[in-house]
Amino acid sequence: MKLKNFSARQHNYITCNVYRCCQAADHTCDGVSSRHNRLKVYFADEAGIEVDLSALDNNSVILVKKTQAGVESVIAYPIDALLNDGNEDRPHKGYMFGGNFVYTCDPAFSEFSGIYGAIPIHDRHEAWKLSADSLQNPR
């Protein structure tokens, strides 16, 4: 995957805070934002540098721009969402919003994400495929 190259920075990521509701239970099903208070945020960029995602830390997310129903949005996906699926057409299927957001006041965050404000983290993952064994031996 190609990621934004921050040539003026020491690293190719921005460290951001995780924002969560303090009065609610964790709805991420043990997502990356439930285990860390700060995340390394990378930016997907077709003109960027090629990066081996498996070499990135497990406390990292990648911002991906998506267009749904004609509306462009930016969503943060954990590295696992882009590594585990193996489906090139929809690499992050099965991942959904778990209630937490990522944000920092660093001006580069708004500059490269294209929006001003917190970005939802889609790190909730539920098993959606039934195994062959569960189909043959229902409980």
| Chain segment 42-72, per-residue pLDDT in tens | 887 666 667 777 777 888 898 888 888 888 8
- CB–CB of 52/66 below 8 Å? no
Q: Which two tokens stand for residue 85?
A: 């699926």
Residue range 23-44: mean pLDDT, rounded: 84
Mean pLDDT, the chain, whole residue set: 76
DSSP 65-128: EEEETTEEEEEEEEHHHHHSS--SSSTTTTEE--S-EEE---HHHHHHHSSSS-EEB--EE---
Q: What is the model's pLDDT at position 47?
A: 60
Q: With cut-offs at 50, 70 and 90, classify the pLDDT of residue 101.
A: very high
**Which tokens in the block code for residue 76?**
């943060």
- Beta strand segments in 5-81, E: 14-19, 38-43, 49-50, 60-68, 71-78
**Which structural domain range is residue 65 located in?**
2-136
Q: Which residue has the higher pLDDT, 37 or 27?
A: 37
pLDDT of residue 139: 47
Question: What was the pLDDT predicted at 119?
Answer: 93
Per-residue pLDDT reduced to its tens digit, 128-137: 554 444 445 5
Mean pLDDT of the region 13-33: 84
Q: How many domains does the chain fold into? A: 1
Residue 10, pLDDT above cutoff 60: no
**pLDDT-based confidence at residue 104 (cuts at 50, 70, 90):** very high
DSSP state of 131: P
